[in-house]
A and B are shown apart, each in its own frame.
Chain A
Amino acid sequence: MKKVVVELKVNGTAHQLLVEPRATLLECLRAELGLTGAKEGCGLGACGTCTVLLDGRPVRSCLTLAVEAEGHDVLTIEGLAETGTAGQPGALHPVQEAFVENHAIQRGFCTPGMILTAKALLDEDAQPSEADVRHALSGQACRCTGYTKIVESVLAAAGKMEAK
């Protein structure tokens, strides 16, 4: 299959990628750019581990063709924390911090998708109710935690972001 050029921004950096038209955004991120934070849990759009933000909105990158992302801004989990300087790791985003502090991470496979979806929620609704959080995360499956700590973390992150 003849490859095409796709121009898109990933985590603030512009990229020109040569990909097959059938390549998914997920394949592109993982294989072309080495950004393995987005995972292929099911390949069907059911589990949410492939979730990235496209122009700030959560999308299933396993169901998005790379060519569809042309001209758009993609944010992956790797782009969320601030860049580190001089050997010091950058500051975590409040949602990332809250997940770490509130024990919302076990195996961690669902974590990138959860964090990005939570960030998109909080960017739109700074004070969601617990029901709002559960609704926003309803497309993200977690096999380990039972979701309780994840929901608590998102609510805690809302508090952190409000305080700023």
Chain B
Amino acid sequence: MSILGKSIPRRDARLKATGEARYTADLSLPFMLHAAVLRSPYPHARIRRLDTSKAEALPGVRAVVT
């Protein structure tokens, strides 16, 4: 009840003001993988077939998830 009516800074305000706050894209972990999304270049299209073999064969690719 003692904080009612008082102006209190956010708990994370200082971290955000100094750039110390870490957002998702700021995180870097050992052996971290990076994902990229491939979206259909065609609107309202029907996906008839997916051939991921060339993508999987690229060096460094650990997985192609569809």
Contacts and interface: CB of A to CB of B under 8 A. Distances in A.
Interface in A80-133: 80-81, 89, 92, 96-97, 99-101, 103, 105-106, 108-109, 111-112, 115
The 10 closest A-B pairs by CB, nearest first: A37-B19, A108-B16, A77-B19, A36-B26, A96-B17, A100-B13, A78-B19, A105-B13, A105-B16, A111-B16
Interface in B1-48: 7, 9-10, 12-14, 16-23, 25-26
A81 B17 CA distance: 9
A76 interface: yes
Interface residues of B, number: 16
A32 B18 CA distance: 19
A96 B18 contact: yes
6 contacts: A36-B19, A38-B19, A100-B10, A105-B12, A108-B17, A112-B19
In this complex, the interface size class of chain A, counting residues with CB under 8 Å from chain B, is 20 to 34
Given A36-B26, A39-B25, A40-B25, A103 B19 contact: no
Interface of A: 30, 35-40, 76-78, 80-81, 89, 92, 96-97, 99-101, 103, 105-106, 108-109, 111-112, 115
A111 to B, nearest CB: 5
Given A101-B9, A103-B10, A108-B12, A78 B18 contact: yes
Given A30-B26, A108-B16, 8 more contacts: A37-B19, A37-B20, A39-B23, A39-B25, A77-B17, A92-B14, A100-B14, A105-B10
